[in-house]
Amino acid sequence: MGAGVQTSGSSGGRRRGRGRRRARPMAEINITPFVDVMLVLLIIFMVAAPLMTVGVPVELPKTAAGALPSEQEEPLTVTITATGEIQLQTTPVPRAELLPKLRAIAAERGSDRVYLRADGSIPYETVMQVMGALNAGGFSNVGLVTDSGGPSLDEAG
């Protein structure tokens, strides 16, 4: 009662051709690892994208206005903090140096769009003074940044 090997034919146990049978190459592409990697990258970019905005803490007023369309060039952002400090991107700028710096930046940029972020507690006069400086500095396309989800004037309340 032993185990044996069965052979077929009259060749006496010899196989024709080569000793081992070759494995045929796979004709299908396995895309599961590719999809897994792409989903991980998608999640990483979805989490990282909101963190790439200018990081000056400002309590923006809430409005029902929609977002502005995006552009190719990184937008210039001017921020007025709750203490009244003015910042270009993330660099603090004294009020006396704001207009010369804006003129120098406007001469180098192709776009005249600028985003103005102001804390909700800042007086309207201060915001208008900065907007006047932006206009005098060569930026005529000023977008006011707000948080969405605020009250609108057409809501019955």
Q: Determine the pLDDT at residue 35.
A: 92
- Which residues are bridge partners to 91 per DSSP? 88
Residue carrying structure tokens 């494995």: 23
State percent of the chain over pLDDT 70: 73
Residue 39 corresponds to which amino acid?
Answer: L
Q: What is the rounded average pLDDT for all residues in the chain? A: 78
Q: Which of 137, 100, 107, 96 is nearest to 116 (CA)?
A: 137
- Flag whether 82 is in a domain: yes
The pair of structure tokens assigned to 116 is: 């103005």
DSSP conformational letter for 75: P
- Flag whether 110 is in a domain: yes
Number of domains in the chain: 1
- Flag whether 138 is in a domain: yes
What global pTM score does this model have? Answer: 0.53
- Flag whether 52 is in a domain: no
**Domain of residue 129, CATH code:** 3.30.420.270
Query: Other CB atoms closer than 10 Å to residue 135's CB: what's the count?
Result: 15
- Flag whether 11 is in a domain: no
DSSP conformational letter for 155: S
- Flag whether 99 is in a domain: yes
Q: Which domain holds residue 62?
A: 57-148
What SS3 state is found at 23?
A: coil
- Flag whether 132 is in a domain: yes
Q: What is the per-residue pLDDT across 47-88, written as a single tens digit (0 to 9) for each?
A: 887 776 656 677 777 777 766 665 566 778 899 998 889 998
Distances 87 to 41, 47, 90 between C-alpha atoms, Å: 33, 26, 6
Q: Are 88 and 54 in contact (CB under 8 A)?
A: no
- Flag whether 14 is in a domain: no
Residue carrying structure tokens 């910042």: 87
- The alpha carbon dihedral of 126, 131, 132, 138 has a sign of positive
Confidence class for position 140, pLDDT limits 50, 70, 90: confident
